[in-house]
Amino acid sequence: MFMFTTLIVQPIFNLLVLIYALLPGHNFGLSIILFTVLVRLLMWPLVKKQLHQAKAMRELQPELKRIKKEAAGDRQKESVLMMELYKEREINPFASIGLLIVQIPIFIGLYSGLNKIVQDPKAIIDFSYSFVSNLSWLQALAKDISLFDSSLFGVVDLTRAAIGKSGGIYWPAMIIVAASAIVQYYQAKQLMPDTKDAQSLRKLLNEAGKGNQADSADINAAVSRSTRFMLPAFIFLVTVNIASALSLYWLVSGLVAFIQQDRVLNQDKNELSASATTATVNDKKGAKTVIEAEIIPPKNKNNKKNKHKKGGKQTKRRK
| pLDDT tens series, the chain, 319 aa | 778 888 899 999 999 999 999 999 999 999 999 999 999 898 888 778 777 777 777 777 778 778 877 877 677 877 788 888 878 877 776 666 666 777 788 888 888 888 888 888 899 999 999 999 999 999 999 999 999 988 999 899 999 999 987 778 999 999 999 999 999 888 888 776 555 445 554 565 555 555 555 555 555 555 556 667 888 888 899 889 989 998 999 899 999 989 988 888 777 555 544 544 444 445 455 545 444 444 455 555 455 444 444 444 444 444 4
**Can you give the pTM of this predicted structure?**
0.70
Q: b/e for 174-201, b at 16 or more Cβ within 10 A?
A: bebbbbbbebbbebbeeeeeeeeeebeb
Coil/strand/helix, residue 241: coil
pLDDT at position 169, please?
Answer: 92
pLDDT at position 222, please?
Answer: 53
Q: Comparing C-alpha atoms, which of 164, 154, 138 is closest to residue 29?
A: 154
CB–CB of 30/23 below 8 Å?
A: yes
Q: Comparing C-alpha atoms, which of 155, 147, 142, 127 is closest to residue 17?
A: 127
Rg (CA), the chain: 32
CB–CB of 216/252 below 8 Å?
A: no
* Separation between Cα atoms, residue 296 and residue 303, nearest integer Å: 14
Query: Please, what's the largest Cα pairwise distance for the chain?
Result: 124
Please state, in angstroms and as integers, the Cα–Cα distance from residue 318 to each residue in 178, 184, 288, 306, 309, following that order. 103, 95, 44, 19, 15
Q: Rounded to 5 degrees, what are φ and ψ at 67?
A: -65, -40
